[in-house]
Chain A
Amino acid sequence: MQRAFRIRTELREIPHLAEQVEAFCEEAGISMSSVYPINLVLDEWLTNLITYAFDDEAEHTIEVNLCKADDGLTITVTDDGQAFNPLTDAPEAQLDGDIESRQVGGLGIHFMKTLMDEIDYHSADGVNRLTLRKQPV
Protein backbone atom coordinates (compact mmCIF):
# COMPACT_ATOMS: atom_id res chain seq x y z
CA MET A 1 0.00 0.00 0.00
CA GLN A 2 1.40 3.32 -1.04
CA ARG A 3 0.44 6.98 -0.79
CA ALA A 4 2.07 10.25 -1.78
CA PHE A 5 1.54 13.62 -0.13
CA ARG A 6 2.70 16.98 -1.35
CA ILE A 7 3.11 19.89 1.06
CA ARG A 8 4.02 23.58 0.76
CA THR A 9 7.11 24.77 2.59
CA GLU A 10 5.16 26.11 5.57
CA LEU A 11 5.31 24.76 9.12
CA ARG A 12 1.53 24.77 9.46
CA GLU A 13 1.36 22.02 6.83
CA ILE A 14 2.97 19.58 9.28
CA PRO A 15 0.02 18.93 11.66
CA HIS A 16 -2.29 18.39 8.65
CA LEU A 17 0.16 15.91 7.17
CA ALA A 18 0.37 14.16 10.56
CA GLU A 19 -3.39 13.53 10.44
CA GLN A 20 -3.15 12.10 6.93
CA VAL A 21 -0.20 9.91 7.90
CA GLU A 22 -2.16 8.58 10.86
CA ALA A 23 -5.12 7.76 8.57
CA PHE A 24 -2.77 5.98 6.14
CA CYS A 25 -1.22 3.97 8.96
CA GLU A 26 -4.62 2.89 10.21
CA GLU A 27 -5.67 1.78 6.72
CA ALA A 28 -2.37 0.01 6.13
CA GLY A 29 -2.65 -1.90 9.40
CA ILE A 30 0.36 -0.22 10.99
CA SER A 31 0.24 -0.47 14.78
CA MET A 32 -0.80 2.71 16.54
CA SER A 33 2.36 2.60 18.65
CA SER A 34 4.39 3.17 15.45
CA VAL A 35 2.39 6.23 14.38
CA TYR A 36 3.93 8.62 16.92
CA PRO A 37 7.55 7.80 16.04
CA ILE A 38 6.77 7.99 12.30
CA ASN A 39 5.11 11.40 12.65
CA LEU A 40 7.81 12.65 15.03
CA VAL A 41 10.64 11.80 12.65
CA LEU A 42 8.74 13.29 9.68
CA ASP A 43 7.97 16.45 11.67
CA GLU A 44 11.60 16.91 12.70
CA TRP A 45 12.88 16.47 9.15
CA LEU A 46 10.20 18.67 7.55
CA THR A 47 10.69 21.39 10.20
CA ASN A 48 14.42 21.39 9.38
CA LEU A 49 13.77 21.54 5.64
CA ILE A 50 11.14 24.28 5.86
CA THR A 51 13.24 26.35 8.29
CA TYR A 52 16.65 26.06 6.63
CA ALA A 53 16.61 24.56 3.13
CA PHE A 54 14.78 27.19 1.11
CA ASP A 55 16.39 30.61 1.02
CA ASP A 56 14.94 31.94 -2.22
CA GLU A 57 11.55 33.48 -2.91
CA ALA A 58 10.45 30.74 -5.29
CA GLU A 59 7.60 28.40 -4.41
CA HIS A 60 8.64 24.91 -3.47
CA THR A 61 6.85 21.74 -2.53
CA ILE A 62 8.05 18.74 -0.59
CA GLU A 63 6.88 15.26 -1.46
CA VAL A 64 6.36 12.62 1.18
CA ASN A 65 5.81 9.05 0.09
CA LEU A 66 4.75 6.20 2.35
CA CYS A 67 4.96 2.60 1.22
CA LYS A 68 3.87 -0.26 3.45
CA ALA A 69 5.00 -3.73 2.45
CA ASP A 70 5.30 -7.02 4.32
CA ASP A 71 8.81 -6.16 5.47
CA GLY A 72 7.90 -2.79 6.96
CA LEU A 73 7.31 0.84 6.10
CA THR A 74 9.44 2.91 3.72
CA ILE A 75 9.18 6.69 3.93
CA THR A 76 10.76 8.92 1.29
CA VAL A 77 10.93 12.70 1.50
CA THR A 78 11.92 14.52 -1.69
CA ASP A 79 12.78 18.23 -1.85
CA ASP A 80 14.59 20.68 -4.09
CA GLY A 81 16.14 22.86 -1.40
CA GLN A 82 19.71 23.03 -0.14
CA ALA A 83 21.18 19.59 0.40
CA PHE A 84 21.72 18.50 4.01
CA ASN A 85 22.81 14.97 4.72
CA PRO A 86 21.54 14.01 8.19
CA LEU A 87 24.15 11.26 8.42
CA THR A 88 27.17 13.46 7.77
CA ASP A 89 26.20 17.14 8.08
CA ALA A 90 24.34 17.15 11.42
CA PRO A 91 26.05 17.82 14.76
CA GLU A 92 25.93 14.97 17.26
CA ALA A 93 23.16 15.51 19.77
CA GLN A 94 24.40 16.16 23.28
CA LEU A 95 22.53 13.75 25.53
CA ASP A 96 24.15 14.38 28.87
CA GLY A 97 25.25 17.29 30.99
CA ASP A 98 23.26 19.39 33.46
CA ILE A 99 20.51 21.90 32.74
CA GLU A 100 22.93 24.82 32.33
CA SER A 101 25.11 23.12 29.73
CA ARG A 102 22.52 21.14 27.74
CA GLN A 103 21.68 22.25 24.21
CA VAL A 104 18.82 21.00 22.05
CA GLY A 105 20.62 21.05 18.69
CA GLY A 106 20.70 17.74 16.86
CA LEU A 107 17.84 16.13 18.77
CA GLY A 108 15.64 15.78 15.66
CA ILE A 109 18.31 13.75 13.86
CA HIS A 110 18.92 11.78 17.06
CA PHE A 111 15.21 10.82 17.03
CA MET A 112 15.56 9.73 13.41
CA LYS A 113 18.57 7.52 14.20
CA THR A 114 16.93 6.08 17.32
CA LEU A 115 13.43 5.44 15.96
CA MET A 116 14.13 4.34 12.37
CA ASP A 117 15.91 1.15 11.31
CA GLU A 118 17.55 2.44 8.15
CA ILE A 119 18.39 5.92 6.89
CA ASP A 120 19.58 6.73 3.41
CA TYR A 121 20.18 10.17 1.90
CA HIS A 122 20.88 10.95 -1.70
CA SER A 123 21.31 14.28 -3.42
CA ALA A 124 21.78 14.80 -7.16
CA ASP A 125 20.90 17.45 -9.75
CA GLY A 126 19.25 19.70 -7.17
CA VAL A 127 16.94 16.97 -5.88
CA ASN A 128 17.39 15.57 -2.37
CA ARG A 129 15.84 12.35 -1.19
CA LEU A 130 15.73 11.00 2.35
CA THR A 131 14.67 7.37 2.66
CA LEU A 132 13.71 5.93 6.03
CA ARG A 133 12.77 2.35 6.83
CA LYS A 134 10.98 1.05 9.86
CA GLN A 135 10.37 -2.65 10.43
CA PRO A 136 8.33 -4.31 11.60
CA VAL A 137 5.48 -1.89 11.98
Chain B
Amino acid sequence: MQVNEETIDGVLVVSPAGRLDSNTSPEFEAHLFQRMEEHPSLVIRFGDVDYISSAGLRVMLMTAKKIKQNGGRLVLCEIGDPIREVFEISGFLTILEVCDDPRGAVERVNA
Protein backbone atom coordinates (compact mmCIF):
# COMPACT_ATOMS: atom_id res chain seq x y z
CA MET B 1 0.00 0.00 0.00
CA GLN B 2 1.09 3.57 -0.57
CA VAL B 3 1.83 5.76 2.47
CA ASN B 4 2.74 9.43 2.08
CA GLU B 5 4.28 11.47 4.86
CA GLU B 6 4.98 15.10 5.63
CA THR B 7 6.13 16.98 8.68
CA ILE B 8 4.09 19.99 9.78
CA ASP B 9 5.47 22.09 12.65
CA GLY B 10 7.63 19.19 13.78
CA VAL B 11 4.77 16.65 13.78
CA LEU B 12 4.76 13.66 11.42
CA VAL B 13 1.55 13.44 9.38
CA VAL B 14 1.04 9.97 7.89
CA SER B 15 -1.34 9.61 4.91
CA PRO B 16 -2.16 6.05 3.88
CA ALA B 17 -3.85 5.71 0.48
CA GLY B 18 -6.35 3.18 -0.86
CA ARG B 19 -7.72 0.30 1.18
CA LEU B 20 -7.05 -0.44 4.87
CA ASP B 21 -8.25 -4.03 5.00
CA SER B 22 -7.01 -7.49 6.02
CA ASN B 23 -4.55 -7.45 3.08
CA THR B 24 -2.89 -4.10 3.74
CA SER B 25 -3.30 -3.56 7.49
CA PRO B 26 -0.36 -5.72 8.68
CA GLU B 27 2.01 -3.70 6.49
CA PHE B 28 0.52 -0.38 7.64
CA GLU B 29 0.73 -1.44 11.29
CA ALA B 30 4.42 -2.35 10.88
CA HIS B 31 5.01 1.02 9.21
CA LEU B 32 3.35 2.96 12.02
CA PHE B 33 5.12 1.01 14.76
CA GLN B 34 8.44 1.78 13.11
CA ARG B 35 7.58 5.51 12.96
CA MET B 36 6.52 5.50 16.61
CA GLU B 37 10.07 4.61 17.60
CA GLU B 38 11.14 8.12 16.61
CA HIS B 39 7.88 10.03 16.85
CA PRO B 40 6.05 9.91 20.20
CA SER B 41 3.02 11.63 18.62
CA LEU B 42 1.46 11.15 15.20
CA VAL B 43 -1.25 12.59 12.99
CA ILE B 44 -2.91 10.15 10.59
CA ARG B 45 -4.72 11.69 7.62
CA PHE B 46 -7.54 9.65 6.04
CA GLY B 47 -8.16 11.91 3.02
CA ASP B 48 -6.73 9.33 0.59
CA VAL B 49 -8.25 6.24 2.22
CA ASP B 50 -11.15 4.80 0.17
CA TYR B 51 -12.03 1.93 2.45
CA ILE B 52 -11.48 0.70 6.01
CA SER B 53 -12.56 -2.58 7.60
CA SER B 54 -12.19 -3.85 11.17
CA ALA B 55 -8.62 -4.88 10.27
CA GLY B 56 -7.79 -1.21 9.68
CA LEU B 57 -9.62 -0.14 12.83
CA ARG B 58 -7.58 -2.65 14.77
CA VAL B 59 -4.39 -0.92 13.59
CA MET B 60 -5.77 2.44 14.76
CA LEU B 61 -6.58 0.99 18.17
CA MET B 62 -3.17 -0.72 18.55
CA THR B 63 -1.44 2.53 17.52
CA ALA B 64 -3.54 4.58 19.95
CA LYS B 65 -2.73 2.16 22.80
CA LYS B 66 1.00 2.28 22.08
CA ILE B 67 1.12 6.07 21.74
CA LYS B 68 -0.78 6.48 24.99
CA GLN B 69 1.67 4.13 26.76
CA ASN B 70 4.53 6.25 25.42
CA GLY B 71 2.92 9.45 26.67
CA GLY B 72 2.34 10.82 23.16
CA ARG B 73 -0.75 11.94 21.31
CA LEU B 74 -2.51 10.47 18.27
CA VAL B 75 -4.90 12.65 16.26
CA LEU B 76 -6.78 11.43 13.17
CA CYS B 77 -8.01 13.84 10.52
CA GLU B 78 -9.88 14.18 7.20
CA ILE B 79 -12.13 11.19 7.89
CA GLY B 80 -14.82 11.55 5.22
CA ASP B 81 -18.00 9.54 4.71
CA PRO B 82 -18.46 6.59 4.48
CA ILE B 83 -15.30 5.82 6.48
CA ARG B 84 -16.54 8.04 9.28
CA GLU B 85 -19.62 5.84 9.56
CA VAL B 86 -17.42 2.77 10.10
CA PHE B 87 -15.58 4.59 12.90
CA GLU B 88 -18.91 5.67 14.34
CA ILE B 89 -20.64 2.27 14.47
CA SER B 90 -17.49 0.84 16.03
CA GLY B 91 -17.69 3.38 18.87
CA PHE B 92 -14.22 4.60 17.89
CA LEU B 93 -15.15 8.28 17.51
CA THR B 94 -15.58 8.51 21.28
CA ILE B 95 -12.17 7.06 22.16
CA LEU B 96 -9.95 8.40 19.38
CA GLU B 97 -9.12 12.06 18.91
CA VAL B 98 -10.43 13.27 15.55
CA CYS B 99 -9.96 16.62 13.83
CA ASP B 100 -11.15 18.04 10.47
CA ASP B 101 -7.82 18.86 8.84
CA PRO B 102 -4.09 18.12 9.29
CA ARG B 103 -3.23 21.62 10.49
CA GLY B 104 -5.81 21.50 13.26
CA ALA B 105 -4.60 18.01 14.18
CA VAL B 106 -1.00 19.22 14.43
CA GLU B 107 -2.12 22.14 16.62
CA ARG B 108 -3.76 19.68 18.98
CA VAL B 109 -0.60 17.58 19.18
CA ASN B 110 1.50 20.69 19.90
CA ALA B 111 -1.00 22.21 22.34
Question: Interface of A with B (CB < 8 Å)?
Answer: 11-12, 14-15, 18, 33, 36-37, 39-40, 43-44, 47, 51, 95-100, 102, 104, 107-108, 110-111, 114-115
Contact = CB atoms under 8 A, between A and B. Distances in A.
A12 B22 CA distance: 9
Contacts of B96: 99
A99 B61 contact: yes
Contacts of A104: 54, 57-58, 61
Contacts of B94: 96
Contact of A100 (B53, B54, B65): B65
Interface in B1-36: 19, 21-23
Contacts of A18: 51
8 contacts: A12-B23, A15-B23, A47-B22, A51-B22, A96-B94, A99-B61, A104-B57, A111-B86
A99 B67 CA distance: 10
B17 to A, nearest CB: 14
A75 to B, nearest CB: 16
A99 B95 contact: yes
A103 to B, nearest CB: 8
B111 interface: no
B79 interface: no
B71 interface: no
Contacts of A97: 95
A71 B79 CA distance: 32
